[in-house]
A and B are shown apart, each in its own frame.
Chain A
Amino acid sequence: MISENLRGKRIAITGATGFVGTALVERLLFSVPECELVLLVRDGRRTPAAERVRREILKNDAFDRLRKKLGADFDASIMGRISVVAGDVSTDGLGLSPHDAQKFASCDIVIHSAASVSFDSPLDSAVEVNLLGPMRIAELLNAIGPKADGTMPHLVAVSTCYVAGNRRGTAPEELVSAGPFDIGLNWKTEVTAARRLRGDAEAASRAPAQLANFRSQARSELGAAGAPALAAKTEQNRQRWVKDQLVEAGRTRAASVGWPDAYAFTKALGEQALHETKGNVPVSIVRPSIIESALSEPSPGWIRGFRMAEPVIISYARGLLDQFPGVPEGTVDVIPVDLVVAAIVAVAALGPDEAPHITQVASGSTNPLKYRTLVDNVRDWFTQHPIYDAEGQPIVVPDWKFPGRGKVEKQLTRAKTVIAQSEKLLGALPLRGTQAAWSTKLEDRRGDIERALEYVELYGLYTECEAIYSVNNLLAINERMSEADRKTFCLDPRVVHWPTYISTIHLPSIVLHSRVKTTPGKSTLDRSDRLRKQVLDPSRHVAAFDLENTLISSNVVESFSWLATRRLNSPERVRYVLRTLREAPNLLSMDRKDRSDFLRYFYRRYEDAPVQQIEEDSQELLAQLIMTKSFPAGLRRVREHRALGHRTILITGAMSFAVEGLRPLFDEIVAAEMTVRPDGTYSGELAQVPPTGETRAQVLADYCAREGLRLEESIAYADSSSDLPMLEAVGFPVAVNPETRLATIARKRGWLVENWEKASGGPRPRLPLGPMMSEREQKRFSERNKRSSYRSGL
């Protein structure tokens, strides 16, 4: 019956890139010969809609069986049956061009499965998509009018069982407004209110006090990363704040009127709105409960995305969550995705006249899965198939105690507070490299706990939903189906044997998808090795290096001190050291505020220094200071890049003469240049802006442009968040011995982190002073330079 009814039909589908949508497209192509599909897909930020269909839908493993069946004909045969229109259900007229609108509205059936399902979407976007989306489709269909045969397209809208709200007892297959618990909400008022809230939040986020707040947050996160990076981060913080406000607004508004979250709340009002505005369009609604991995189609365990109960289960298996609220005898209403798809197809096949107005697809009333059954099966399965931690040790899953929600939340909140405090303390310490990694580990841990807390809050609400969703209409459809249809389009929730489903289908599938470690022993090729391989790929173009704390553990003050004291006698040295120590706090705070100001100020000390003497001394500087303080692994890395044919470039705020000894390592050295006076002494003034902060990104970009090389194929090595602009500009950033802030950023963004050390056992001079020269040498120089301020003005 089903294939026959749908043969040759044109079916429009929204939300094809989603979990249900992908399965639906696949099932129609596989099991309904000769139907044509029109997919309404949003343009991606960089990828156009048609490309998204190819990448996100057709490449999905759901299509494996179809690909196998069709072989080389797959592309031709599938593309012949699919056409793509670019549009967006959250804009009026669905954002379609007139031509596409015609194509869309002339379909025989429109299946609307696009939704904002994420439980933490902001109220206004949930309203635009979930509440107004179905209505906009009906509006468009009405506007275009009947097809050539005089009939209107059949709109099948996918909703959710949870529109029934927080209630106990049976929830029948009828509109909420038709039931006894309707509190008479007006959807139009809710739409206006939600839009108004967005405006208010946007306005509030721009208040001066708030902006200052965002800016100081950005500064504490990034440090002295330069004005553009700081501005970008500040704006990001503002947008996140607005979003948080609206998410919170959605959650509280939904709770206040009896729904578990904004998703169910907006879906419920969406059904209402569609009902009131559908006009001539025949509408059927399909309401699934919690959709989980496939029972058998397209393959057992097939799942897409990862946001329902999976994170909770994986958190439990990882030992992160040892408690989850819920009552053992409660029902968890789960339904495999292929049953939902079959129900949608069946409703579409029955047509507007025969199909029930509302069909619920749920298991709770006919084949309930008890909470205890779920938990017991999960625990048994993970006891037999443990997940392994980073050290390769199996993680033992705890016994589930079925505590109340409040208790679990309190426990997690307490853990979070402790970690947040330790994090703050670590952040305040001047740590680098491995020590800085502690702090990122803590941050990871806090992230885990925060997520767990969110799940508990969100899913806790669902487990507390004790409604039983009746499925009379679904069973009636099942009755009418032929034996062959029941086999191809199985929609009967009674066929699921829960323990088998959980342990042989669902858990293996989600463990596979979550990419957790399932084998013992330490992994041989870890993430860093993988990243390092990418960095050292011959196809890269340029490797840019910062100097201080990236290749050597020294700084401009040290090289100055070394050069300045090389020709001093003992009492002069003591005076120099005392003076520098006295100035140190001042210099440090200056450096923290703005690197280039600091450099300009500090380099004035080279005023009157004789060029020739500095050049002579700089040669010794390489052996005595730079090599002594070098990171051998870093220098080796530079040479590895050269050996691979990459260009190497050193970008440093150090003086050019101080880094002259490193010339053979680099194709290009960009350093601070000082102007020379006619009398052969340095002026103490820099020839241009010293390469620091965002200037470095620009220097690198200019170099690449000049040499015809690509930034995306380049690598940058740096140690501090002030180098963020340069790190962000390249395709392969590497954080070397990162200070805490950069360590955190690198960890979050998955950058390669290298911890390079000085050669162990090497000399560790306590003060960066030049070695004493023989007395005769000293005499020679002290006479020559008696009146030079470079020497006497130290």
Chain B
Amino acid sequence: MPRPGFVLEVDKSTPPILFWRGENFSLEKLPAGRSRVIYAPEPLPAIEDVDGAIRHALLNPIEQDPLPEQLFPGMKLTIAFDDVSLPLPKMERPDIRQRVIEAVLDMAAEAGVDDVHIISALALHRRMTEEELRHCLGDRIYDAFAPRGTLYQHDAEDPDNLAYLGQTPHGEDVEINKRAAESDLLVYVNINLVAMDGGWKSTATGLSSYKSLRHHHNPETMIHSRSFMDQHRSELHKSNWRMGKVLIDSGVKVFQIETTLNTDTFPSPFGFLAKREWEWSPSDRMTYLASTKALKRTPTRLARKIFHSIEAPHQMTSVQAGDVEAVHRITTEHVYKQQLVEVKGQTDILTMGIPYISPYNVNSILNPILVMCMGLGYYFNMYKGMPLVREGGVIIMTHPTQPDFHPVHHPSYIDFFEQVLADTTDPHVMSQKWEKQYAEDEWYKHLYRTTYAYHGVHPFYMWYWGSHALQHCSRIIIVGGDPKTVRRLGFVPASTMDDALEIASDVVGRAPTITHLHSPPLMVADVS
């Protein structure tokens, strides 16, 4: 039986605690008596018969007819799936999406459906490479569909292949992929890694265009999403749900398949990452020492390559299909069961180690803007109830934060860093002053459509993601970050954790309470 998550009060006997530092990690001694560390629950047991469970879900959907009954010859069937941003790290082959889609395709074949399109629902993310598609869907699906042009990626800038479906009562435009909208059935295959994923967000965001996205991807919505992990208190989700209503009203029929994974994130020898430090075995200690020492000497470029080639052993803990909202309610329960930790009260200082990866830099570089997004957009928002850090408190992250960018994946990020952040770090100001120019830039559109580049507006969204944290906290400190780059982000650089605590002291006093979000794996703090 896996142990639940818990909160450790740090005392004199507590060993130093593990922090991610990009492509490396460090052990930091937290002050005794006023620090606590939040540990996630241990990985839940996986479903043993994955294919059986999938088949069962498709045949016994929630609040909808079984999938075979919805399939008929001559119909238009579209299968959309979550892109390369999920799961993190990528899972060992076969990917769960491959298994689900293969099951769906089997049923479609039995029903004599031959007009099937498979679309990667990447919204404004970069296109997936052939290798990534093969990893995610398997060679069989790729070789059967890609050469015929029926496996492709959603293009949010292709006016000919977008369908405008109307507005929500709030005046939000709804525009999604034309093929998906005009199909007799849209099957969406999801991986629900965190509580934010899934539901109407799959279709209303993943298959939509900038015109539609801008209504919920903006500073105002982000500030009022408390947090993204709690959909009932998230403006982002309310907007997506309103859009979902428009989809239903326009006759788009969605068969949602959602899956959840356990948090078995890193294979050996990196198993120690998720362990509690006092339970490290001698060999864990050796591995830690050897790998930190070795990584220090490894060129960053190579270290990135090593880390991004890691495939996670995580496994499926649930699969459910049918009506979007009903399915997502069950999915969310499963996610919470794996990730929720009860925490009493807020803290003055929240510390977090930022890893090498985020949903937006798979096989790429966690550039400074993504560092901000990971810290303030993701980790800060890993709460239900109220934020872990009190209003006016301080966030301390650990990450090297070099001014490194991937020229193919993140071209607009480079310009955003040089041009926009040099001008302002205020999400509201930049959305007024700069967003339109980047969103409508022909060159960025061209790169997004023909190469592997994120859309021009994407760095803005990443920055908006942290809007609430920027407003909520009085200081953000990055330990070990490149000083010039950290200052460009509007944060304060510190060379050690002690320095960072010293810098924080003029905001939160000499004896602040400290809370560390221990990752991996992911968790959500239920703060009361």
Does the CB pair B446–A627 fall under 8 Å?
A: no
Does the CB pair B402–A759 fall under 8 Å?
A: no
In the complex, A762→B301 CA distance in Å? Answer: 8
**Distance in Å: Cβ of A787 to nearest Cβ of chain B:** 25
Task: Please give 7 more A-B residue pairs, beta carbons under 8 A apart, in addition to A639-B441, A661-B450.
Answer: A624-B408, A630-B407, A632-B407, A635-B411, A664-B442, A759-B405, A762-B404
A621-658 interface code vs B (CB 8 A; 1 in, 0 out): 01110011110110110010001000000000000000
For chain A, the count of residues having a C-beta within 8 Å of the partner chain is 26
Does the CB pair B404–A759 fall under 8 Å?
A: yes
Does the CB pair B405–A760 fall under 8 Å?
A: yes
Query: Contacts A665-B443, A759-B404 hold; do A636 and B419 have CB atoms under 8 A apart?
Result: yes
Partner pick for B407 among A627, A665, A776, CB 8 A cutoff? A627
Query: Contacts A635-B411, A759-B405 hold; do A622 and B451 have CB atoms under 8 A apart?
Result: yes
**B122 at interface, CB cutoff 8 A:** no
**A411 at interface, CB cutoff 8 A:** no
Contacts of A635 in B (CB 8 A): 411, 443
Within 8 A of A (CB), among B40-56: none
**B143 at interface, CB cutoff 8 A:** yes
Partner pick for A760 among B130, B403, B408, B442, CB 8 A cutoff? B403
**Distance in Å: Cβ of A447 to nearest Cβ of chain B:** 34
Does the CB pair A758–B418 fall under 8 Å?
A: no
**B469 at interface, CB cutoff 8 A:** no
**A788 at interface, CB cutoff 8 A:** no
**A764 at interface, CB cutoff 8 A:** yes
**B415 at interface, CB cutoff 8 A:** yes
Question: Considering only CB atoms, which chain B residue lies closest to A762 in the complex?
Answer: B407
Main secondary structure on chain A at its contact with chain B?
helix
Within 8 A of B (CB), among A401-456: none
Query: Contacts A623-B408, A627-B447, A759-B407 hold; do A632 and B415 have CB atoms under 8 A apart?
Result: yes
Contacts of A636 in B (CB 8 A): 414-415, 418-419
**Distance in Å: Cβ of B148 to nearest Cβ of chain A:** 14
**Distance in Å: Cβ of A771 to nearest Cβ of chain B:** 9
Query: Contacts A664-B442, A764-B301 hold; do A627 and B408 have CB atoms under 8 A apart?
Result: yes
In the complex, A128→B405 CA distance in Å? Answer: 66
Does the CB pair B452–A632 fall under 8 Å?
A: no
How many residue pairs link A and B with beta carbons under 8 A? The number is: 74
Does the CB pair B450–A619 fall under 8 Å?
A: yes
Contacts of B414 in A (CB 8 A): 632, 636, 759
Query: Contacts A619-B450, A664-B442 hold; do A762 and B411 have CB atoms under 8 A apart?
Result: no
Within 8 A of B (CB), among A716-774: 758-764, 774
**B185 at interface, CB cutoff 8 A:** no
Does the CB pair A761–B442 fall under 8 Å?
A: no
Partner pick for A623 among B301, B418, B451, CB 8 A cutoff? B451
In the complex, A661→B452 CA distance in Å? Answer: 13
Query: Contacts A665-B443, A776-B143 hold; do A761 and B419 have CB atoms under 8 A apart?
Result: no
Instruction: State which size class the interface on B falls in.
Output: 20 to 34
Partner pick for B405 among A629, A665, A762, CB 8 A cutoff? A762
In the complex, A661→B447 CA distance in Å? Answer: 9
**Distance in Å: Cβ of B415 to nearest Cβ of chain A:** 5
Contacts of A632 in B (CB 8 A): 405, 407, 411, 414-415, 418
Contacts of B403 in A (CB 8 A): 760-761
Contacts of B130 in A (CB 8 A): 774
In the complex, A762→B305 CA distance in Å? Answer: 12
Partner pick for B446 among A628, A664, A759, CB 8 A cutoff? A664
In the complex, A390→B192 CA distance in Å? Answer: 58
Does the CB pair A761–B451 fall under 8 Å?
A: no
Within 8 A of A (CB), among B328-350: none
A→B interface (CB under 8 Å) = 619, 622-624, 627-630, 632-633, 635-636, 639, 643, 661, 664-665, 758-764, 774, 776
Contacts of A764 in B (CB 8 A): 301
Query: Contacts A627-B408, A632-B415, A639-B443 hold; do A761 and B300 have CB atoms under 8 A apart?
Result: yes
**Distance in Å: Cβ of A11 to nearest Cβ of chain B:** 61
B285-321 interface code vs A (CB 8 A; 1 in, 0 out): 0000000000000001100000000000000000000
**B492 at interface, CB cutoff 8 A:** no
Question: Considering only CB atoms, which chain A residue lies closest to B402 in the complex?
Answer: A761
In the complex, A443→B408 CA distance in Å? Answer: 39
**Distance in Å: Cβ of A547 to nearest Cβ of chain B:** 16
Contacts of A759 in B (CB 8 A): 404-407, 414
Query: Contacts A639-B441, A661-B450, A776-B143 hold; do A761 and B404 have CB atoms under 8 A apart?
Result: yes
In the complex, A689→B134 CA distance in Å? Answer: 45
Question: Considering only CB atoms, which chain B residue lies closest to A631 in the complex?
Answer: B407
Query: Contacts A623-B452, A639-B441 hold; do A758 and B446 have CB atoms under 8 A apart?
Result: no
Does the CB pair A628–B402 fall under 8 Å?
A: no
Contacts of A623 in B (CB 8 A): 408, 450-453
In the complex, A763→B410 CA distance in Å? Answer: 12
| 25 A-B pairs with C-beta separation under 8 A | A624-B408, A627-B447, A628-B408, A629-B407, A630-B407, A632-B405, A632-B414, A632-B415, A632-B418, A636-B414, A639-B441, A661-B450, A664-B442, A758-B407, A759-B404, A759-B406, A760-B402, A760-B404, A761-B300, A761-B301, A761-B402, A761-B405, A762-B404, A763-B406, A774-B134
In the complex, A665→B408 CA distance in Å? Answer: 16
In the complex, A665→B444 CA distance in Å? Answer: 10
In the complex, A632→B143 CA distance in Å? Answer: 36
Partner pick for A633 among B143, B301, B418, B441, CB 8 A cutoff? B418
In the complex, A623→B446 CA distance in Å? Answer: 11
Contacts of A624 in B (CB 8 A): 408
In the complex, A627→B409 CA distance in Å? Answer: 9
Most A-side CB within 10 Å, residue of B406, B407, B408, B450:
B407
In the complex, A496→B453 CA distance in Å? Answer: 75
Question: Considering only CB atoms, which chain A residue lies closest to B452 in the complex?
Answer: A623
**Distance in Å: Cβ of A616 to nearest Cβ of chain B:** 12
Does the CB pair A664–B407 fall under 8 Å?
A: no
Contacts of A643 in B (CB 8 A): 437
Contacts of B451 in A (CB 8 A): 622-623, 627, 661
**B365 at interface, CB cutoff 8 A:** yes
In the complex, A636→B447 CA distance in Å? Answer: 14
In the complex, A759→B437 CA distance in Å? Answer: 22
Most A-side CB within 10 Å, residue of B402, B411, B437:
B411
Partner pick for A628 among B300, B367, B404, B407, CB 8 A cutoff? B407
In the complex, A632→B413 CA distance in Å? Answer: 10
**Distance in Å: Cβ of B283 to nearest Cβ of chain A:** 33
In the complex, A235→B242 CA distance in Å? Answer: 77
In the complex, A635→B300 CA distance in Å? Answer: 25
In the complex, A99→B244 CA distance in Å? Answer: 94
Contacts of B405 in A (CB 8 A): 632, 759-762
Within 8 A of A (CB), among B411-454: 411, 414-415, 418-419, 437, 441-443, 445-447, 450-453
Contacts of B446 in A (CB 8 A): 664
In the complex, A643→B407 CA distance in Å? Answer: 22
B366-378 interface code vs A (CB 8 A; 1 in, 0 out): 0100000000000
In the complex, A390→B383 CA distance in Å? Answer: 53
Contacts of B447 in A (CB 8 A): 627
In the complex, A774→B408 CA distance in Å? Answer: 22
In the complex, A478→B404 CA distance in Å? Answer: 77
Query: Contacts A623-B452, A632-B411, A636-B415 hold; do A762 and B406 have CB atoms under 8 A apart?
Result: yes
**Distance in Å: Cβ of B239 to nearest Cβ of chain A:** 32
Contacts of A665 in B (CB 8 A): 443
In the complex, A274→B518 CA distance in Å? Answer: 99
In the complex, A628→B441 CA distance in Å? Answer: 20
Within 8 A of A (CB), among B112-157: 130, 134, 143
Question: Considering only CB atoms, which chain A residue lies closest to B447 in the complex?
Answer: A627
**Distance in Å: Cβ of B460 to nearest Cβ of chain A:** 16
Question: Considering only CB atoms, which chain B residue lies closest to A661 in the complex?
Answer: B450
Contacts of B443 in A (CB 8 A): 635, 639, 664-665
Contacts of B404 in A (CB 8 A): 759-762
Contacts of B445 in A (CB 8 A): 664
In the complex, A763→B414 CA distance in Å? Answer: 15
